[in-house]
Amino acid sequence: MPKFSLDVVGMPDFLPRAGFPNPAGLMAPANPRNENMTTGKTLILTMCIIGLLPVVSAQSAPPPPRITSADAKSHAGETVTVCGKVVDTKVSKYALAGRGKPVNLDLDQPEPNPVFFFVTFGSQSGANPEEAQSAYQGKSVCVTGKIAVAGGVPYIMAADRSKIKIHAEDK
């Protein structure tokens, strides 16, 4: 068992005393509890501010530009909103794990020469791709996302159906 000596005021010499040098020769803070509380409060405040920055910056971002399906090819790689009328749909033979079968929806011009399409999935479980077909077939829609190109045709992957908006007159 280690031996400790007591100083004049009756405190062990290994404990720092306010305003007096501790055994290592360093000055202990006058009120260590208040300093730790201030540091903790500052840390919490800093974390809150950093946590809110993405929310503030997301709200101040302008909406993506709105383009037609014919203009989509010249905006490959950009995040935009493409608007047009769904003129053709087709369900893939193969399903994606956890999503179900993808549904391709052509805007403004059907196969064999589509100008733009977007891909989405059926209901929440992905088990009903026909639901996605009937929800958008023949309606004017706007879909927001990043444009990619497959086989020379631009498209947007709209797995999140909240990115697809039906025009009010078609609802």
Q: How many domains does the chain have?
A: 1
Instruction: Find the mean pLDDT for residues 109-138.
Output: 85
CATH number at residue 88: 2.40.50.140
Could you give the CA distance from residue 130 to residue 120 in angstroms, rounded to a whole number? Answer: 11
Query: Where are any strands of DSSP class E within the chain?
Result: 66-68, 79-91, 102-107, 117-121, 140-150, 153-157, 164-166
The answer to whether residue 6 sits within a structural domain is no
Residue 88: phi, psi to the nearest 5? -160, 145
The answer to whether residue 28 sits within a structural domain is no
The answer to whether residue 120 sits within a structural domain is yes
Domain membership of residue 157 as a residue range: 66-170
Does the pTM exceed 0.85?
no
pLDDT value, residue 61:
73
The answer to whether residue 37 sits within a structural domain is no
Q: How many CA atoms lie within 13 A of 130 on its CB side?
A: 0
Could you give the CA distance from residue 91 to residue 130 in angstroms, rounded to a whole number? Answer: 8
The answer to whether residue 61 sits within a structural domain is no
pLDDT value, residue 78:
96
Could you give the CA distance from residue 95 to residue 155 in angstroms, rounded to a whole number? Answer: 19
CA-based nearest residue to 137, from 74, 73, 75, 91? 91
The answer to whether residue 149 sits within a structural domain is yes
Give pLDDT tens digits for 14-71.
Answer: 555 555 555 555 555 555 555 555 677 777 777 777 777 666 555 667 889 999 999 9
Omega of the bond prior to 112 within 30 degrees of 0, cis?
yes
The answer to whether residue 31 sits within a structural domain is no
- The per-residue pLDDT of the chain, averaged, comes to 79
Q: Give the range among 1-10, 46-55, 68-77, 142-151 with minimum mean pLDDT.
A: 1-10
The answer to whether residue 2 sits within a structural domain is no
CB-based contacts of 50, cutoff 8 Å, min separation 6: none
